[in-house]
Amino acid sequence: MATNIREIQLKYNTQQKCLNFLAELRWGKTVTCPNCEKNKVRVIDNLKKRYFCKSCKEQFSVFTNTIFEGTLLELPTWFQIITLILNAKSGMSAKEIQRNLGVTYKTAYYTAMRIRVGMLQENTCLNGIIEMDESYFGGKYRKTNENKPDLATVEYKRGRGTNKISVVGMAQRKGKVVTKVIEKLSKRNLLNMLKTYAKQENSILVTDGFKSYHELEKYIERLEINHSKGFSKGIVHVNTVENFWSGVKNGIRGSSKSISKKYLPLYLLEFEWTFNHRFYKGNEFEEYLKNALSQEKSLEYWKAESTNQVKNIVYNQ
């Protein structure tokens, strides 16, 4: 169900209403300490949702260890930015958020980055017919910035010694997709990804004939696409993951002109979320908040210093 921004504005129009809603989603009736997971807790300030843990003697609030931690932005605005991003089916740039809600570019940028972290779907497990295929980002330099490859230029060629970034996607037929930025498409790296996200029993992997995919047969049953003309593909295709890539390509080209290599894994999370909720019938806004609050990630992600730090957070490496 699409999240109606007008409804969100009316329903969550004060900081207090938003705080109450977050506390309810995070804990229900039993407040649990995010530091030690115990629930012997004393209320310090019920309105501000601040608590003291009798077990570990730490103070915490409903924001502790979440994407909201340390924020100076009012929650009603947060909720509106979340809604804009959820409703933008092919990505939403910080510029657009700035234009729509009148916040500064910097606020829009950092809030959107944190919101993407909240889109991380943990414990993804694909089964049945699973397609695996990779895509390449970048490769051409922008005129305005000679040192940064333009990620909106997506090419499908497999090339070594280029500055393209390879991203591997796995999609369950009629199901979810998951992606990973993998610099080196070695058998070992692909196998690691497969083992992380696919159920081995009763699953079939579909790939093309790229050499590194062959080795995966030792782990899972595999079908290979025959590219020769006139050959009916039947179930042997990677259309699901190809559709996903074309959505990502259009989204990056259309809305987010300045995606850096460092943050690519976070942008991909947004496209994955959208794709994985394409048939979702429930309240997506609530579903998103629940997911974001359940992660208890530290703050490092949105001011991450390196590409590896971002990858650690997204891929739990």
Which CB sits closer to Zn ion, 36 or 204? 36
Taking the CA of residue 266 as centre, how many other CA atoms within 13 Å lie in the half-sphere pointing to its CB? 29
Interface with Zn ion in residues 14-33 (CB under 5 A) = 33
Q: Closest distance between Zn ion and the C-beta of residue 33, in Å? A: 3
Cβ contact 206:140 at 8 Å = no
Q: Closest distance between Zn ion and the C-beta of residue 56, in Å? A: 3
Asked if 43 is part of the footprint of Zn ion (rule: CB under 5 A), the reply reads: no
Residue 148 CA, distance from chain mean position: 23
Asked if 41 is part of the footprint of Zn ion (rule: CB under 5 A), the reply reads: no
Asked if 120 is part of the footprint of Zn ion (rule: CB under 5 A), the reply reads: no
Tell which residue, 75, 93, 87, 92, has the closest CA to residue 21.
75
Question: Which ranges of the chain would DSSP assign to H, the alpha helix?
Answer: 5-11, 15-27, 75-87, 94-101, 105-117, 187-197, 211-214, 239-254, 264-276, 284-295, 307-315
Asked if 35 is part of the footprint of Zn ion (rule: CB under 5 A), the reply reads: yes
Stretch 181-220: interaction string toward Zn ion, x if CB under 5 A: ----------------------------------------
Q: Closest distance between Zn ion and the C-beta of residue 296, in Å? A: 13
Asked if 59 is part of the footprint of Zn ion (rule: CB under 5 A), the reply reads: no
Cβ contact 62:108 at 8 Å = no
Q: Closest distance between Zn ion and the C-beta of residue 45, in Å? A: 17
Asked if 53 is part of the footprint of Zn ion (rule: CB under 5 A), the reply reads: yes
Extract the tokens encoding 251: 């989204």
In the DSSP assignment, the letter for residue 166 is E
- Residue numbers at the binding site for Zn ion (CB under 5 A): 33, 35-36, 53, 55-56
